Amino acid sequence: MKRKNKEQRRADGITDRGSDSLETMRPNKKQRLGGGSGSDEETSPYLVVGHGSVSPAFSVFKVEPYTDGGGDTPVSIPRRLARLKCKHNMSFVPLRLKDRRWIVGVGGSSTENYYGPGTIIFDTEKQLVIRGPEPKSIKSHPILLPIDQKIYALSRSPSVKGPLDYLPWFEVLDLSQAQEVDGCLTNCKWSSLQRPPFFPWELTPRQYLCPPRVAVESYVAVGSHILVSVTGRVGTYAFDTKGSKKWVTVDDENNLPFSDGAIPHGGGLFLGLSSTTKAITGYKINIGTRSLSVVEIPVVSNLEDEELVGRSHNFLSLGIDSGFCLVTCWSVDESPYPPYHRAHIRVRTYRTDDFVESEGKCLVVSKQWMQVYKIRDFIRTLDAPCLVGVVYI
């Protein structure tokens, strides 16, 4: 892809700006991918970047997915929206509450309160950082699943000795009545849920000295159900958040066919990273009382002279009528050793044609945008990799 000259860039609605802003102007609604749902509410991708310093642990940036900034030539990342003074090793998810749109972070690398809260919230509309209630146990990079007005947190790799990732391994934060008062969240708290039966618990003294290692391999929220597969076991487990509030086995012969988490894409579809092809794939998932059906929907490309759809664990859905984004990052420091000060973040946006099951079981990529951002921080330094989370809200 060739770099456009200044006249071509101006003709396309692109202008040069300062180092703290995007070099590309936001396209109007008619210039966008597929028009979206027609809602007046503006939704955007947000990037959460991790720092090597103790505090702040993270920074939040808002980016534009529908731009093409000249191939691999990086532009400065947009101005930072917030610094999050909280614990490290957090996971982040988007959550909509009535008229509020929040990015919620949960987790930590230490149980010490000195490092900040174990729950942090960024209000994207008020540009406000809110301190949340402490989880009953601090979990490193926990599995977070927003369902209705609640956040479910599950240990990614439980510990039987603690203190990190110790009991309770599974808990929930009900935010339906939550209110922000002086930068803190009130009228809400974390509550313990049933211990997952696939985590090791009833151990002999010898097993306790060297406990089995179990980690969550794949997960997804389908309606009011949470589906999980773990390492070392064959099968898929489900937790009903509205009915029994208990774990049951829904498939004792197969694990979920994707790695890490799958996200809703609309129209009954989910997007995940295939465990076999390691590529972004669509899935139709239906769950019964004690049964599970998962149908794979491949993502294929109609593009000419373009790379195949990339692979990344950091991806987000823009909706079934728009497409999805893949986000990758890498350090560009001269030294491979910390502290790290510079990094590049690549955002690839893929437009997909509407999925109609009767016309073929695949998602077809018909257009692609790409933008590379450069980020540097000599004071707070950067994690490696620096990209901690991507959310669309």
**For residue 337, is pLDDT > 90?**
yes
pLDDT at residue 362, rounded to an integer: 86
What pTM was estimated for this model as a whole?
0.88
Q: Kindly report the average pLDDT of the chain as a whole number.
A: 86
Say whether pLDDT at 8 is over 50.
Answer: no
pLDDT of residue 191: 98
Residue pLDDT, tens place only, 205-252: 888 889 999 999 999 999 999 999 999 999 999 999 999 999 999 999
Instruction: Of 11-20, 21-30, 115-124, 311-320, give the range with the top mean pLDDT.
Output: 115-124
User: What pLDDT, on a 0 to 100 scale, did the predictor assign at position 312?
Assistant: 83
The pLDDT tens digits for 170-184 are 999 999 999 999 999
Per-residue confidence (pLDDT) for residue 40, from 0 to 100: 44
Domain ranges of the chain: 6-392
Over residues 48-61, mean pLDDT:
95
**What pLDDT score does 355 carry?**
65
Closest CA relative to residue 299, chosen from 320, 330, 314, 313: 320
For residue 292, name the pLDDT band (cuts at 50, 70, 90).
very high
Return the exposure string of 334-350: e unless at least 16 CB atoms fall within 10 Å of the residue's CB, then b.
eeeeeebbbbbbbbbbb
Give me the torsion for CA of 247, 251, 280, 30, rounded to 10°. Answer: -70
Q: Is the pLDDT of residue 289 over 90?
A: no
Q: Is the dihedral of CA 83, 58, 147, 38 positive or negative?
A: positive
Residue 22's pLDDT band (boundaries 50, 70, 90)? very low
What is the predicted pLDDT for the residue at 4?
39
Quick one: three-class SS letters along the chain? CCCCCHHHHHHCCECCCCCCCCCECCCCHHHCCCCCCCCCCCCCEEEEEECCCCCCCEEEEECCCCCCCCCCCCEECCCCCEEECCCCCEEEEEEEECCEEEEEEEECCCCCHHHCCCEEEEECCCCEEEECCCCCCCCCCCEEEEECCEEEEECCCCCCCCCCCCCCCEEEEECCCCEEECCEEECCCEEECCCCCCCCCCCCHHHHHCCCCCCEEEEEEECCEEEEEECCCCCEEEEECCCCCCEEEEECCCCCCEEEEEEEEECCEEEEEECCCCCEEEEEEEECCCCEEEEEECEEECCCCCCCCCCCCCEEEEECCCEEEEEEEEECCCCCCCCECEEEEEEEEEEECCCCHHHCCCEEEEEEEEEEEEEECCCCCECCCCEEEEEEC
Give the residue-averaged pLDDT of 135-147. Answer: 97
Mean pLDDT score, 271-300: 93
Q: Where does the pLDDT of residue 162 fall: very low under 50, low under 70, confident under 90, or very high at 90 and above?
A: confident
Average pLDDT over residues 108-128: 92
To which CATH superfamily is domain 6-392 assigned? Kelch-type beta propeller (2.120.10.80)
Quick one: average pLDDT of 348-367?
Answer: 78
CA 6 to chain centre: 35
